[in-house]
Homo-oligomer: A and B are copies of this chain.
Amino acid sequence: MDKLTVARTAKEARLRQRAVVVWFYGLSGAGKSTLALGLDERLTSAGFFTTLLDGDAMRQGLSRGLGFSDADRAENLRRAAETARLFLQNGVITLGAFISPLRVHRALVREIIGPADLIEVYVSASFATCAQRDTKGLYARAASGSVRQFTGKDSGFEVPGPEESPLAIDSERQSVAACLDQLWARVQPCITL
């Protein structure tokens, strides 16, 4: 057991929890941030110690200067995963909400975090539903051409492949509360010491 591992175990004991990374992915508007925030609140209320990373926070800080080309998106995700890993190593339950459109993106996250410490959550809703919700007004801007390389329009989103086995959450047919119950049932047993 290396020094880092000892430090993590000690920190987990101090926080009275086992750390994991919960990685939410899916189309913009599918409900990733809503569910991550909701889970964060439930965890915090139950006494767990968490952090939440999302695309906006990364873009304003660690990923400042990166654009939306394929290479820059991959680098943004790499940095997000490395950041999640740092919090994990410090015993903190870490929630990440990132579109992560391609299978190679999810593979990169898996490689950096390590599968034993990672819970992948695929939040799904149809493109039409996401466009109708349009939480950030991005679909409207994409339709008018003012947002380029928008996932689902100019650049593709790959649904989870057979080699992936995320927790699949259908945010179109389920209420937020039902989605959160599904999440809680999956996450809670993994974080209890």
A contact set with B: CB distance below 8 Å:
10-11, 14-15, 44, 49, 51, 53, 57, 61-62, 64, 79, 82-83, 85-87, 90, 92
- How many copies of the polypeptide does the oligomer hold? 2
Residues of B within 8 A of A51 (CB): 86, 90
Residues of B within 8 A of A82 (CB): 61-62, 64
Residues of B within 8 A of A15 (CB): 49
CB pair B86–A44 under 8 Å, yes or no, is no
CB pair A14–B62 under 8 Å, yes or no, is no
A61-B85, A92-B90 known; A14+B49 contact, CB < 8 A:
yes
A11-B49, A49-B11 known; A79+B62 contact, CB < 8 A:
yes
